[in-house]
A and B are shown apart, each in its own frame.
Chain A
Amino acid sequence: MRQCPSSRSRAAERPLGRAATLAVLALATCSCSSDALNPFAPVGPVAADDSKILIDATIIMLAIVIPTILLAFWIAWRYRASNTKAEYLPYWAFSGRIEAVVWSIPILTIMFLGGVIWIGSYQLDPFRPIESPAPPLEVQVVSLDWKWLFIYPREGIATVNQLVVPAGTPVHFSITSGSVFNVFFVPRMGSMVYAMPGMVSQLHLRADRPETMLGQSAQFSGDGFSDMQFQVRSVPPAEFAAWTQSVRGAGPILDRPAYALLARQSHRNPPAAFRAVDPTLFQAISTQQIPPAPGPEPGNEEHAGREVTPAGRQ
């Protein structure tokens, strides 16, 4: 992956407080899109809108924060005890005018931000579909310990730890968990949302151009959590069709027994693909007709951890 040395080394050389803000802005305006996760190099409209709101809100807040900090230090310095020229007002402890200003500034700022919050929350609600002439691609996502399962119901295939989507087409994710809480997150495509057992979360994202990105889980889920990354590739639509064809060509089938095997705890799962998938599988997982995946098992050496009761509870 290409480095973006300028902003990084700037930040490295001046790691003090005020410079932090500058570093943040520098990173924001940095045009390098090489960093596979950098949400400030968005690949889709959701990420772009999210990060725009983040940057705008930062600038609004900085307009208040920087003068306040400067004021504090200026006043502390001017009225230092050794400066006898400054007037000593030993009983000055109230001013209606100052109170009015001091209450108004935060209130007005918050009113403005409130508008941003209101509009932004509705427009960027993960459950809200993305406007598009093309029908969205359906992807069903199941988080397991400690890998991600992606089911393409219309294409009838499934993958583990790799997600391929056609560029320019919105993707509708239905997300559940086969075990514990996780969070599905592809920063450069946009918002994250929780994956929860027995529930289905919705997320609508779109990648506008071909790109390789990284996805991850953003909710700690156990010993193998650090390896819960997955590769995300957005490809031209033709290549997507070719890819689905090739997956259908070879590979195992994801039926109930295969899923049961997959659900056992494992980590550092290499990307894998299934040429066919049980069409009722996601429904069964999300309604818990299939019970949740097991936790640490004595026979599963890889992630039993150091359990005091190898037999587990009861």
Chain B
Amino acid sequence: MSQDIFVVIEHLRGQIADVSYVMLAGARQLAQNTSGKVMAVLLGHNAQGLANSLAADGVLYIDHPALAEFTFDAYQLALADLIKAQSPRAVIFGHSSVGMDVASTLSAKLGAPVVSSCQSFTADGKFVSQICGGKIMAEGDLPGPIALVTMVPGGYKAEQGQSSQASEMTNMAAPAMDGIRVTLKQYIEPDTSDVDIVKEAVLVSVGRGIQNKDNIELANELASALGCAVSASRPVVDQGWMPTTRLVGKSGKRVKPKIYLALGISGAPEHVEGMGDSQVIIAVNTDPNAPIYNIAKYGTTVDMFELLPVLTDKIKQAK
């Protein structure tokens, strides 16, 4: 039984996912409270090099061909084995398509409680989770003896979890990978024939508040006048009103434009994950209590359908 904090590093096709750094930063805070070490857990195949930028006290590396890319069975077998053997105080996963697949599974398997959507830890080692579309925060003591945690970004900056100094790596044995039931066939690339919203300096983004496909025309006109692109939140894409290439958010793209104009977007965490790092967010939402106002620099509750044509006109005049 140790007081160490493990962080399950997420990587996809040779790239460390940002959430890994956020987790390391959170782990550092927690470790201060438990007086344990921050240990990065890296699973992969010939992936040692990925450990270089991780800010951790040590790296536990498990190599196996079955771990080359993330799949459910291989990862949960390796992690269950490791956690049982090492008994850390806590294991942090990303609240993501990787972490969420295995965190709860391991909770059931090991009888260890799992805390969801944790955004940060307090100075006295409590978890603070963000739930209900970002409207409610839930705080509590870190359960034990081993706590599993899925983390969402927002509480720490990725830079806090990065380091230029590689930490000591320990090779751990992989368990027998018997009974694998989940296999990766192939990756399907996102459509690159469309505009790459990641490269835009300004984005005009539409959310549920746009109400129907035809109103998007108003956003298109503004974007035209500005010489930028239109992006969208999940509800708009799900309805088929905009292609998935324009999706900003957890399941879409991560953008960091200079200006992000959020039209009729409530600011739910899944969307904020994709645009929270924008330099300046201007939110147009008639609901003064919309969570978007918590991260926006400027806001207005005027009706967007009234605003857009007037704004487009003024932009044209200003150019």
To the question of whether A and B form a pair in one complex, the answer is no
